[in-house]
Structure 1
Amino acid sequence: AHLLIRRDGECVQFVDTDQRAWHAGRSCWWDARQTIWRTTLNDFSVGIELEGDDVTPFTKAQYQALARATKWLMSRYPQLDSRRITGHAHVAPLRKTDPGPAFDWAYFHRLIAECGKC
């Protein structure tokens, strides 16, 4: 992964976001913006891992750090918008389950929208 967000909200960078990380493995995803199936997502995506598991709720600090990181990525990569943000479970459903049912996508999207206050 490019980034890890710990339970306390600390963001640790492992790989520069302009570099390839092997976070998704074999993967595919429907890009509604371009109406095409995308494969080999490691070639062009940024992987952010959240410390935790599929069933334990993530912390407020994690959501806030994730929203800040996402807004930074959106400013750095103009083609990135909320329609292009997804989880491992959506791009590699037979192999990955994260972020899992404990992840509150609606709350995360609200934070992104309000992130001028982050």
Structure 2
Amino acid sequence: MSPARKAMKVAAATAESLGNAAVGADGVYHFRLYVAGQTPKSMAAIENLTTLCDTHLPGRHRIEVLDLVLNPELAAQDQIMAIPTLVRSLPPPLKRMIGTLSDPERFLIGLDYSRPAT
């Protein structure tokens, strides 16, 4: 299986397995990742987001991957101007990040992630 197919499969499995989480439940992060087909940047963004969420938000995230090649009208929903774009809808406020999400610190800071107290 190619790395691109594997990344799409991992993202879909993650989204599916976490899709039953209560919408808006405390501590659950909801992400929409807008991509354009299976380009290298799209695949990198999917892989990086999955890894970051599994590392920093285990069991506390939901990922929805939206392919704008298949459904270009979805871009209007979150006013997407560039891809890949990540939208965090919960917890509020809404946050956006553009790019492949290759910098973990930028991801955490940009989404106002606060580590849980241990």
Specify which structure has the bigger relative contact order, considering alpha-carbon pairs within 8 angstroms and separated by 6 or more residues.
2
> Scaled by the length of structure 1, what TM-score is found?
0.30
Please identify which structure carries the higher strand content. Answer: 2
Please identify which structure carries the higher helix content. Answer: 2
> Scaled by the length of structure 2, what TM-score is found?
0.30
